[in-house]
Structure 1
Amino acid sequence: MPVVDYGALPEFPMRPGITGKWIASRERGAAGVGVLSNTIEAGCGAPLHRHEYEEIILVEAGKIWVEMDKVRTTATPGQCVIIPANAAHAWGNEGPEVLRVLFVWNSPEPFAPGKSTYLEGAPPAVT
């Protein structure tokens, strides 16, 4: 049973203003789930994309906006956003402070080829 000290994990750049660290992934011993911690600077986010599985975004600090089907919502610490499988969505940091979120997917490799499609922009760096 792996125990991951995710506070000690190194962050890696994913996009301008966004860093990440894999808390749960295949390489960390997860067989059916992926958990990614992101730190997002003000004004930064991810362009329109979709995954072939559900995505859950848990807000730890700051305020996130999420847009799906041309409807924009926001979430704050203690809240989560549940995005259905194959739903096109985009997200970003809504506030002036740093945003910290956890992304959860029912796949240990959510960005593997064919698992996510970017409808705008390029996929993120994931390692």
Structure 2
Amino acid sequence: MIAEKISELELMEVWYEDDPTMRIKVTFPFFLGNGTKSTAVVYFEIKPGCRLGTHTDSAEEIILVLEGTAEVSLGDERGRLSAGEMALVPAMVPHGLGNAGDETVRVVGFFSSNVVVSTFDRPMMPFGQRVVGTPPVLEEDQVASGNTGA
């Protein structure tokens, strides 16, 4: 069994250089790299006043809000999800989430593939690129491994 405790996950902070509202903490506790066969899971937190930038994912995702209230965009749709609510995000449909309240929003996303490629509307820092995957790879890691393709 592969198991993780949410309170003990090591989160990475990601942001847009030119937009201080796009800032989240994120990790992929389950994906191909740690043994999953056909699924991946992302966990992320959004502080009040912040948001997750608009992006597409290569795989279908179900998002579940654990805490807080999120303002969600999905294609041309807008809505809110609160703790205990979930929504389906089809593959390759642009979407984003913002914190719509005064407490940190905590979300789990369940993907239908063990590898996920996400393409953002702007370069994600600290990666410096719009396209990131599971797990996110820093540019210096790509150079060290000899894989510098985007």
Identify the TM-score tier after normalising by the shorter chain. Answer: 0.7 to 0.9
Q: Secondary structure at the match of 2:66?
A: strand
How far is 1:73 from its partner?
0.6
User: Is 1:122 paired with 2:123?
Assistant: yes
Q: For residue 7 of structure 1, what is the aligned residue in structure 2?
A: 7
Residue aligning to 1:92: 98
User: 1:43 — aligned with what?
Assistant: 49
1-structure distance, mates of 2:54, 2:2:
34
Aligned to 2:35: 29
Bigger strand fraction: 2
Preserved CA contact (<8 Å) 2:24 2:52: no
Equivalents in 1 of 2:113, 2:51: separation in Å?
22
Q: Which amino acid aligns with 2:4?
A: V
Q: Which aligned pairs between 1:98-117 and structure 2 lie closer than 5 A?
A: 98-110=104-116, 115-117=117-119
- Identical aligned pairs, as a percentage? 25
Q: C-alpha root-mean-square deviation of aligned residues, in Å? A: 2.0
Q: Which moved more, 1:37-46 or 1:7-16?
A: 7-16
Unaligned runs of at least 5 residues, structure 2: 16-21, 128-135, 138-150
Give the CA deviation at 1:6. Answer: 3.9
Residue identity in the other structure for 1:13: E
| Rg larger in structure | 2
Partner SS state of residue 19, structure 1: strand
Deviations 1:89-120 (A, max 9, x none): 2221111211100011112231xxxx3322x2
How many angstroms does 1:77 deviate by?
0.8
Q: How many residues get paired?
A: 122
Shift of 1:28: 2.2
The one-letter code sitting in structure 1 at the alignment partner of 2:123 is A
Provide the C-alpha distance between the structure 2 equivalents of 1:106 and 1:90, rounded to a whole number of angstroms.
Answer: 18
My pick for the range that moved more, 25-34 or 9-18, is 9-18
Structure 1 length as normaliser, TM-score?
Answer: 0.82
Higher relative contact order (CA 8 A, sep 6+): 1
- What is the one-letter code of the residue matched to 1:54? E
Structure 1 counterpart of 2:2, one-letter code: P
Unaligned 5+ segments in structure 1 are: none
| Partner SS for 1:27 | helix
